[in-house]
Structure 1
Amino acid sequence: MSNLYLRLAKTNIRNNRQLYLPYLISGIVTVAMFYLMIFINNNPGMKTIPGAANLKMIMSMGVGIIAIFACIFIFYTNSFIIKNRKKEIGVYNILGMEKRHIAKVLGQETFFVAVIAIAGGVLSGIVFSKLILMLLYRMLGFQESVSFYVAKAGIEYTILVFGFVYVLTLLYNLLQIRLANPIELLRGGNVGEKEPKTKVLMAIAGITCLTVAYYIAITTENPMEVLTKFFLAVLLVIIGTYLLFTAGSIAILKMLRKNKKFYYNKKHFAAVSGMLYRMKQNAAGLASICVLSTMVLVMISMTVSMFAGVDDELKACYPYEVNYMDRSETMDPTVDVQELYQKMADTIQAQGREITDSEVYSYFQIFMTVKGSEFLPLDGSVDVSATDMTGVTFITRESLLASDRSLKASEMPEPEAGKVNIYSKTPYNQSTIQLYGQTYAVDQTFSYESENDSFMVLDGSIYVVADESVLRQIFDLQKAAGMNADGSSMLSMYQTEISFEYDGTKEEKLACAEALSKAMESGENTHTSYLESRTENEKDFYVLYGGLFFLGLFLGIMFLMVTVMIIFYKQISEGYDDRERYIIMEKVGMSHAEVKATIQSQIRIVFFLPLVMAAIHVAAAFPMIRRLLAMLNLTNVPLFVTCLVVTILIFTAIYYLVFRITSKAYDKIVSK
């Protein structure tokens, strides 16, 4: 008897190869991607890469994301297959097979599919593992030989995770068969549907969700708010898309049907009617395609632009080749700044390097909340969220001019003695500032528009420009304020920065930075100080952004594959559903050419609707994405726009190709 179940399982898979072959291929690819991520994460050679901790964190995140989406994807495609096989299973039931016998056949089929997908995926992952690792090394600029390595942990985790997923799909299929009677199974997916009701509240809720998400994306300026609200906006877009496709599409189609001039036209009548009944059962599929398309466009365009602009990001984070920062608990210098500057300059020249630029400036910065003219420290006495924090930088006019060469001295007057000037991106309309119990008159206020601002981490941040005596008084006041309510120190260190730009190859710059580091260590400084080198940190940048680029491509390919599979199974499923409608439309008098044109028009509208909606989502998200990239040091907006446009064009071409291929499969089914 067991041989019978085995033969039936093999025959069923072979006879339904049009459904199972894409399912098996996508399963193999998903398993291979999961194994490769674990392989990269656990590879011994990764420990030798600079910034390996960041790369390991990125790859670990990739493992988790692939596992989650693999589960969702396999369940989704499995539901299409079981829906189209219900009639076949119903025949078995009518012919005398009990549901427990059918369960055994389905168990054998699931076992075959799982073994082929897992074994094929693991073997493919092992075969391509060395090539993928070489590609990653190339992206990171890491010159190292790659040895062949089989990740035993990867094999074990892959079998465990995907074995569990396929067991869950079997349980789902058995539940579907158990709950259905033989007549329902024989009718399969061809159950007559009532006209869908117009769900006005759902449509309004969908529009509201998208409107709020778009408003957040377009209007949010504060970087801290961008971080906290980004995922909220994403969640609202996903919910709004599903609600809008489910209810809004039906409402629009019913409005078109009420327009008699439009509706009672042979080009529109069948198309509107067909889409009206189609939308109820396919809204979730179309919404899924739209959300996945948006994810592919955003993820790939962001990671590509970050990797392509890594030099810009490095320069934005490190404007100078070396930067020496001295932090002190007093404004009285423990070292002579000019002497320190000269010592660094002499060391650089002793290494044979030519200094092309330099700067020296001092300041101290306190994070506060500003209410009117009151500058309140974050000492726990005031309720304040992260988005209400303001970075207040106290600095002299000379230091501000030195810190940002884009500022013009003629446009920056010296404040009167005892007074302060306020520079801010958001207008400051008060005549005084009050902090630590003291009040200081505001001499003049200015709008600060510089793109090179290294201090204004938060939008709304403020420069308080004053002479040294006023700054010293403020510094002493905040020092006397003592401790925060949680016991931490409130003291903001007085910082002096000395920066140099000099020529040379990477090796020469690294050697010079090392010499500077040794020269600074030889001093008798009792305060906190450290030296940063742009070239020294370059490898860490390439590892971080190269890792994100690699993960973005990996996940982009996976999401694209999921999108293609949903489109394919949607077309196949609709082909079987529409075959009877196709015959009826010809019987009532429409020509074969008219019927075919109607169906093609209907498919084309439905097919490209998610792509248009995805493009709208991306356009609305652009301001927020731009600010997120700015927080990751990418301020090259034209580069991101170029990457986004190219990504959209390539994705559209692939989408259209999938449309052509799946349309042919649809026509083949319907024409029978």
Structure 2
Amino acid sequence: MKTSILNKLAFRSIFSHKQLYFPFLLAVSLLFSLEYILLSLMQNEYVLEFHPDLKIFVGMGIFFSTLLMVIISLYTSNFIQKNQTKEFGLYTVLGLEKKHIRWITFVQMLFNWIVTSIFSVVIGYLTGNLMFVGLNRLMKDTGAGLMDYPFQIQTALGIVALLLGTFLVSFIFHSIKISRLNPTELFVSAHKGQREPKGNWLVTVLGLATLGSGYYIALTTNDVLGSLMNIFIAIFLIVIGTYLLFLSLSIFILKALQKNKRIYYKKNNFLSISGMLHRMNNNAVSLASIAILCSGIILVLGLTTTLYRVMETQIASSMPTDYTVQSFLFDKEEDETYLINLENELEKRGQLEDAYLHSSVNTNGYFVDRKLIPLTTGSSVNETLNTSQSVVLIGETVDTYNEMQDETLTLSENEVAITSNLLDLEDFSTIEINGKEMQTKVVSNEAIPAEYGIEVLYLAFPDENQLEEFRIAFENYMGPNGDYAPSAYQYVLNFNIAENEDEIQNYLNERQEEDPIRVTTIEETSQNLYTLYGGLLFIGVIVSVVLIVGIILMLYFKQITEGHQDRENYRIMKQVGLEKSMIEKTIQSQIVWVFGLPLAVAVLHNLFVSKIVYTLVGLFGVRDLSIFGTSYFGVLVIFAAVYWIFYKLTSRTYYRIINE
């Protein structure tokens, strides 16, 4: 057969299935335009020069988004090809061979590749300009402009190559499928009869067990480091459980409703339950996938929004003044003397405000049964400490605490002020520190800098002598040989500059080059945090957009598929005399349940994992539950509204098909 005829058949098939092809081509173009933006940021000279740390987060975004984009593209491409099965079956009846059908699909693949390549690069570059400027605004960098986002040939070629690889994989899978089917199967496979759906108790029990295990891990994990590992285990179990329960438990519930005569044999329920039974049997996997995608969007956006909102609090906590200078002479008297002399030198060059010297002891220990045990002791009896937990210990005097927190706290000789960023100490009245029992006064955890992510126990002692005893007792790990040594004092000079800031900055830069000190400014800290969390929020938005596009495609194609499957059924309902209002009510109730169920499951998943997620964000110093809760609730409300809008838009396609 002439190639020209096959080419015409290929393009005629595309335009006859425009309801499928055009949304597919638009969605794939949008997805890979986002890929263009991410790849271009990895090679952008402005980003590499001014925000080098951003490259790490962009790389993470590229990995996850590319994986999702390829999966979504292959899924939707396979969906379109499946809907062409009847058409290809007709071609075989008319005399076309399998090699001709493969050529038709190859031409369609080339068309898809060319169209999506052009639109992906063009849309990616145009929207990339705006997103590049928006990203820099998130990072509080107002110096970036459109000229800093040039067109990149190598990035465009990378997108074209990635699209070609994706479509080639789809073409290979479809070719294998065609070669395994005979002409009769090709013609009738699109209209195979539906068997009576059956549930499987083993699958149901396994689904409940895996889902329950995932929920249990999410609810019982209390430490930050444990949450970092356990959250992946919990998510994996929840995903598996979701698929298994959608496949089986939904069938059992609907069949139980069928057997209940008082419920099933009501005119409003009879058609709805029967229809839902077959819908769940046919669409359990896709509905479970939508539920997982919805859960992922809420989780990612809720997490990144929370981190972005707490930045100002973290900046204020880690930098109580505009400047800090830390000495690394590792000798108490030398560090203290050096910083006092430095403060005097700075006063000669300008005017300082709110200047004070802050000393502390930072070490580690075991915390078990309200007892603090040194590492040297705990390591030798660790086998008996079944509930022990390694914690960071910060020790100060009560005078330092009062100066830092602007308080007037007083402590007797046998008292210690105590607080923690993540441990619950509200009911603590006593604590044993290296064998010595002391009364406690629980204070605000604002005494702990926000940059501490793991469990920290803060202790304020009555005087310098007790702090020195604590420092000597709680030796820290030193060196590769496993030797322990008393922890060193950390001396930090905090201050603001009222006059001659440039001269003082120049002097500090000179001292930092010559002496073992570190100068930190609030401007540097702010820029680093905005780069970190602004980049995370940007990547979270990109990944969420990819997931949303995937959900929209699945919703849209589900409506088309079910519309064609149900059209004949509803035509028969009309012929047997069912009222139009009853038919429409049945349709509406089924659609609401089918598309409302994934969202409800997503909300349930996020409610159960919210505890472990809140514990996890403790790695970033997030300790404000109200910000975490409002961020998640806000994301949930906005996403539910967006989901409902696209549900309404895609359901119009369904109604239009069944009324044809």
**2:36 and 2:159 in contact (8 A); partners too:** yes
Contact map agreement 2:35 2:65 (CA 8 A) in 1: yes
- Residues 538, 335 of structure 1: alpha-carbon distance in 2 compared, 3 angstrom cutoff: closer
Indicate conservation of the 8 Å contact 1:312/1:636, yes or no: no
Distance 2:437 2:574 in 1: 83
- The 5-angstrom pairing of residues 270-285 of structure 1 reads 270-285=271-286
Paired letter, 1:502: N
Q: 1:328 to 1:370 in 2, by over 3 A?
A: farther
Given the alignment, which residue of 506, 516, 528 partners 1:540?
528
After superposition, what is the alpha-carbon deviation per residue over 1:107-133, rounded to whole angstroms, capped at 9, x for unaligned? Answer: 111111111112221122233333332
- Counterpart residue type for residue 119 of structure 1: I
Q: Does 1:487 align with 2:457?
A: no
**Any stretches of 5+ residues in structure 2 without a counterpart?**
none
Aligned residue in 1 for 2:230: 229
Q: Identify the residue that residue 643 of structure 2 maps to in structure 1.
A: 655
8 Å contact from structure 2 (residues 199, 251) kept in 1: yes
- Per-residue deviation at 1:464? 8.1
- Per-residue deviation, residues 418-449 of structure 1 (Å, max 9, x unmatched): xx887774568998555xxxxx4323355565
Q: Distance in 1 between matches of 2:310 and 2:624?
A: 7
| Cα deviation, residue 536, structure 1 | 2.3
State the AA in 2 paired with 1:74.
S
TM-score calculated relative to the size of structure 2: 0.89
Superposed displacement of residue 572, structure 1: 0.7
Instruction: Tell me, in whole angstroms, the C-alpha distance in 1 between the residues paired with 2:659 and 2:418.
Output: 75
Deviation at 1:344, TM superposition (A): 2.2
* Contact 2:109–2:171 (CA under 8 A) maintained in structure 1: yes
Within a 5 Å distance, the mapping from 1:315-330 to structure 2 comes to: 315-327=316-328, 329-330=330-331
Matched, 1:453 2:441: no
For residues 528 and 649 of structure 2, what CA distance do their matches in structure 1 show? 43
Q: Residue 387 of structure 1: CA displacement?
A: 9.0
**In 2 relative to 1, CA 335–651 (structure 1 residues): closer, same or farther, beyond 3 Å?**
closer
Distance between the aligned counterparts of 2:614 and 2:497, measured in 1?
32
1:35-46 aligned at under 5 Å gives the runs 35-46=36-47
Q: Deviation of residue 303 (structure 1)? A: 2.3
Task: Note the C-alpha offset of 1:15.
Answer: 0.6
2:409 paired with 1:409? yes
- 1:669 is aligned to 657
Q: Report the equivalent of 2:109.
A: 110
Q: 1:197 Cα shift?
A: 1.8
C-alpha distance in 2, partners of 1:129/1:91?
A: 45
1:566: Cα distance to partner? 0.6
* Closer, same or farther: CA 490–302 of 1 in aligned 2, 3 Å: same
Change (3 A) 1:377 1:153: farther
**What is the CA–CA distance in structure 2 between the aligned matches of 1:293 and 1:618, rounded to whole Å?**
10
Query: What SS does the aligned partner of 1:377 have?
Result: helix
- Structure 1 pair 632–514 and aligned structure 2 pair: CA distance change class (3 A): farther
1:102 partner letter: I
Matches within 5 A, 1:142-161: 142=141, 143-147=143-147, 149-161=150-162
Identity rate, percent: 25
CA 1:222/1:514 → structure 2, altered by over 3 Å: closer, same or farther? farther
1:56 deviates by: 0.9
User: Is residue 2:490 matched to residue 1:496?
Assistant: yes
Report 1:626-637 matches (<5 A).
Answer: 626-637=614-625
Confirm or deny: 8 A CA contact 2:364 2:390 kept in the other structure. no
Partners in 2 of 1:161 and 1:108 — Cα distance? 18
Residue aligning to 1:575: 563
Matched, 1:364 2:362: yes
Distance 2:282 2:14 in 1: 26
Could you say which residue in structure 2 is the equivalent of 1:259? Answer: 260
Verify: 1:101 aligned to 2:92, yes or no. no
Write the mapping of 1:356-435 to structure 2, written as runs, cut at 5 A: 356=354, 358=356, 360-368=358-366, 370=368, 374-377=373-376, 388-405=389-406, 409-410=409-410, 412-415=411-414, 425=423, 434=434
The alpha carbon displacement at 1:170 in A equals 0.7
C-alpha deviation, 1:368, in angstroms: 4.3
Structure 1 unaligned residues grouped into runs of 5+? 435-439
Residue 444 in structure 1 maps to residue 443 in structure 2? no
- TM-score, reference length from structure 1: 0.87
1:575/1:670 contact within 8 Å kept: yes
Equivalents in 1 of 2:71, 2:216: separation in Å? 30
Q: By how many angstroms is 1:608 displaced? A: 0.8
The 8 Å contact of residues 222 and 387 in structure 1, kept in 2 or not, is answered as no
Residues 378 and 596 of structure 1: CA distance in aligned 2, closer, same or farther (over 3 Å): farther
- Give 1:624 deviation, angstroms: 2.6
Counterparts in 2 of 1:84 and 1:519: CA distance versus 1, 3 Å = same
Measured against aligned partners, the alpha-carbon deviations of 1:371-405 in whole angstroms (never above 9, x if no partner) come to 87753339976579999422234444444544555
For the 8 Å contact 2:358–2:491, the answer to whether it is kept is yes
Q: Is the 8 A contact 1:368 1:392 kept in 2?
A: no
Deviations 1:566-609 (A, max 9, x none): 11011111111112221233344422321222122111111111
The equivalent of 1:347 in structure 2 is 346
| Counterpart residue number, 1:30 | 31
User: Which letter maps to 1:616?
Assistant: L
Matched, 1:333 2:336: no
Letter in 2 for 1:598: T
Partner of 1:268: helix, strand, or coil?
helix
For residue 222 of structure 1, report the CA deviation from its aligned partner: 1.2
Instruction: Give the 3 Å change call, closer, same or farther, for CA 578–585 of structure 1 in structure 2.
Output: same
1:551 paired residue number: 539
1:13 and 1:370 mapped to 2: Cα distance?
68
* Residue 630 (structure 2) pairs with residue 642 (structure 1): yes
Q: CA deviation at 1:532?
A: 2.0
2:78 maps to amino acid: S
Matches within 5 A, 1:592-631: 592-631=580-619
**Range with bigger deviation, 374-383 or 101-110:** 374-383
Q: Answer with 283-292 or 591-600: which moved more.
A: 591-600
Contact between 1:361 and 1:498, CA under 8 Å: does it hold in 2? yes
Contact 1:415 1:467 in 2 (8 A): no
Q: Partner amino acid for 1:667?
A: Y
Q: Which residue of 2 aligns with 1:195?
A: 196
Once the two structures are TM-superposed, the CA of residue 522 in structure 1 deviates from its matched residue by: 6.7
| 1:437 corresponds to | none
**What is the CA distance between 1:504 and its match in structure 2?**
6.1
Alignment of 1:58-137 (within 5 A): 58-137=57-136
In structure 2, relative to structure 1, the CA distance for the partners of 1:636 and 1:375 (3 Å cut) is closer
1:247 positional shift: 1.6
Mapped partners of 1:430, 1:312: distance in 2: 31
CA, structure 1 residues 457+298, in 2 after alignment: closer, same or farther (shift >3 Å)?
A: closer
Q: Distance in 2 between matches of 1:612 and 1:574?
A: 21
Deviates more, 1:290-299 or 1:214-223: 214-223
Give 2:538's aligned amino acid: F
